[in-house]
Structure 1
């Protein structure tokens, strides 16, 4: 399931394309579990230390890890016979962050750069770049940020393709970002439209 949601708070005006993990989404619904960010990075650090679906003896965990497991909401993990099994996994993958702007400005570049460690990035502009000022487009390309020009009829013209994003490693920060984006999906908030494009320089 591919859906578009607004970026989480603190990341500015952007639209995120999410690839929802349908199996994990349905499992959470059945367990009455929404997002798994109640304990911030600390909780996700504990979860990342546990292999998914495999029992781990509680005796091998730290006091901090056992304390989190005792307080974790239903659907996160289960404890049976002195062993804990983690059930929760990342609920979605963020494929692409899109920032809308009047032009390929430095402001648009900086807005899309916020998503560098999480997903591919692109900016949709409504004003064609000047033929006498191609350097900014080259700069977007250097950073791997795609650029599309939206014509008056709504058609999108690709000026630069976004660089495919490949995660180097699984981090609590990336998991947290996915969880907060998933939270946007759960609340059903519409994606921002023309009311929020970045201004021209």
Structure 2
């Protein structure tokens, strides 16, 4: 995907899928790029796979290739029993992993009134995606922009529900290796998006503005 960081503010509050994610007691709006084919294959039947043990097992199975079940331990077979039907195919004594990571986390945005809490929130998400902090007004201390640039954290200014003005561009996230933790994070965000979509269909829109107002209480 083309580097989006120069225009990152246009994604905030726009059409990019986003969900309010809470980790280690801190909340940020996570914007994501969906794997449309994988999401369609799953059919929005339910939440993502959030069992670390199951994801660890899936990472050992090559996608789309048959593996004899006899090479799996009883505990691993039990984990397969608990997976949704779209995750694996089991027949003739073989198992095939069908599932893959449903989305790519792009940016975690902390909406906060003060820079220091926002930076701490951004740090929580630093192992998963790029990060940014959005303040409701221009920071009075010019060193804040310097600190944001030093840490590679984007800095924006703007009111809730409006694309912020970019002060510092976030540093692009560089994936070093695939991990169970990052797959779990993607599945968690996917589950939030599925639940969000169901709420929107059943009880009206679930707006980004509401999530921003929630986070600005930090």
TM norm. shorter chain > 0.5: yes
Whole-angstrom CA distance in 2 between matches of 1:60 and 1:8: 38
Quickly say closer, same or farther: Cα 1:43–1:12, change in 2 above 3 A.
same
| 2:38 matched residue in structure 1 | 24
> For the residues of structure 2 that align with 1:179 and 1:154, how far apart are their CA atoms?
28
Q: Deviations over 1:44-69 (max 9, x none)?
A: 10111111111111122233222212
Contact residue 11 and residue 114 of structure 1 kept, 8 A? no
| SS across alignment from 1:166 | coil
The 1:178/1:155 distance shift into structure 2, 3 A limit, reads closer
Give the ranges of 4+ consecutive aligned residues of structure 1 lying more than 6 Å apart after TM superposition.
none
Structure 2: gaps of 5 or more residues: 1-14, 197-205
Separation of aligned partners in 2, 1:62 and 1:152: 51
2:186 pairs, out of 151, 171, 178, with 178
1:103-118 correspondence runs (5 A): 103=114, 105-118=115-128
**TM-score when scaled to structure 1?**
0.86
Matched residue, 1:134? 142
Deviation of 1:151 after TM superposition, in Å, equals 6.5
Distance 1:70 1:12 in 2: 34
Task: Tell me the TM-score normalised to structure 2 length.
Answer: 0.80
CA contact (8 A) 1:6 1:190 kept: no
Q: What is the number of residues matched between the two proteins? A: 193
Cα displacement string for residues 172-192 of structure 1 (whole angstroms, at most 9, x for unaligned residues):
111111111111111115430
Q: Match for residue 11 of structure 2? A: none
Question: Secondary structure of 2:184's partner?
Answer: helix
Give the CA deviation at 1:153: 11
Relative to structure 1, is the Cα distance of residues 129 and 71 closer, same or farther in structure 2, using a 3 angstrom cutoff? closer
Mapped contact 1:8–1:184 kept (Cα < 8 A): no
State the distance in 1 between where 2:60 and 2:163 align.
Answer: 46
Alignment of 1:44-63 (within 5 A): 44-63=55-74
Unaligned runs of 5+ in 1: none
Deviation at residue 83 of structure 1 after TM alignment: 1.2
Higher helix share: 2
Deviations 1:26-58 (A, max 9, x none): 11117x343112xx2111101111111111111
1:197 partnered with 2:216: yes
Task: Give the direction of change, closer, same or farther, for the CA distance of 1:118–1:152 in structure 2 (3 Å limit).
Answer: closer
